[in-house]
């Protein structure tokens, strides 16, 4: 009997985009279980709290697939992956610019834990230009982000910025 293959898909998911959702759903064709691991520890200054990011990811992905689990994690990623009984880190790539950073992370993770492998999946072409940062910038200025993020995330972004959340860098 084959052992279940669990992939850990880590990120801040601030916010979760349709590109993330697409990658999660597609990864289920390759892995028995996908754990969407929402990072508590991040050098970024998240718009949403950890609890909000976990809730939004759960709501967006929903119970549509029992093989997808959303949970928070803190500490060193490779330690979390090992605690979850996995040896697979899943990462998404949009463009060549992502690759250099992701390659460095993969090598560092491999240095820290030789038994953990990083698997890269390319995003669907329709999501190549989407990032959480770009979506937040557009939303902060009242831009139309419909179709770029799940509906629950779109509503949450509108509410955050209506409450006066900092709009950050204005690149949109």
* 44 noted as active-site residue: yes
Task: Give the three-state DSSP class for 4.
Answer: coil
Q: Measured between alpha carbons, how far is 12 from 132 in angstroms, rounded to an integer?
A: 9
Residue with tokens 């820290």: 112
Q: How far apart are CA 68 and CA 146, in angstroms?
A: 24
Q: Which residues pair with 120 in a beta bridge?
A: 91
**Residue 116 half-sphere exposure toward CB, CA atoms < 13 A:** 28
Active site residue 136: no
Dist CA 105 CA 117 (whole Å): 11
**Rounded-to-integer distance, Cα 133 and Cα 124, Å:** 18
* Tokens encoding 134: 């770009």
Q: Burial-class residue 162 by CB neighbours within 10 Å (0-12, 13-18, 19+).
A: exposed
* Residue 118, beta-bridge partner list: 89
Please tell me which residue in 94, 136, 140, 160 is annotated as part of the active site: 94
Exactly one of 58, 132, 140, 160 is catalytic; name it.
Answer: 132
140 is catalytic: no
Q: Which of 44, 83, 155, 171 is catalytic?
A: 44
Write out the catalytic residue numbers.
20, 44, 94, 132
């Amino acid at each position: 009997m084959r052992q279940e293959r669990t992939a850990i898909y880590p990120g801040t998911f601030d916010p979760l985009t349709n590109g993330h959702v697409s990658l999660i759903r597609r990864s289920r064709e390759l892995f028995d279980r996908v754990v969407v691991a929402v990072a508590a520890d991040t050098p970024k200054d998240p718009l949403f709290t950890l609890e909000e990011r976990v809730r939004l990811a759960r709501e967006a992905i929903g119970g549509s697939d029992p093989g997808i689990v959303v949970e928070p994690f803190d500490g060193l990623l490779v330690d979390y992956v090992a605690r979850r009984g996995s040896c697979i880190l899943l990462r998404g790539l949009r463009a060549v610019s992502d690759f250099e950073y992701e390659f460095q992370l993969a090598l560092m993770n491999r240095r820290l834990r030789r038994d953990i492998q990083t698997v890269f999946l390319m995003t669907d072409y329709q999501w190549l230009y989407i990032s959480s940062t770009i979506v937040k910038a557009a939303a902060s200025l009242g831009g139309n982000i419909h179709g770029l993020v799940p509906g629950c995330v779109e509503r949450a972004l509108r509410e955050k910025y209506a409450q006066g959340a900092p709009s950050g860098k204005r690149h949109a």
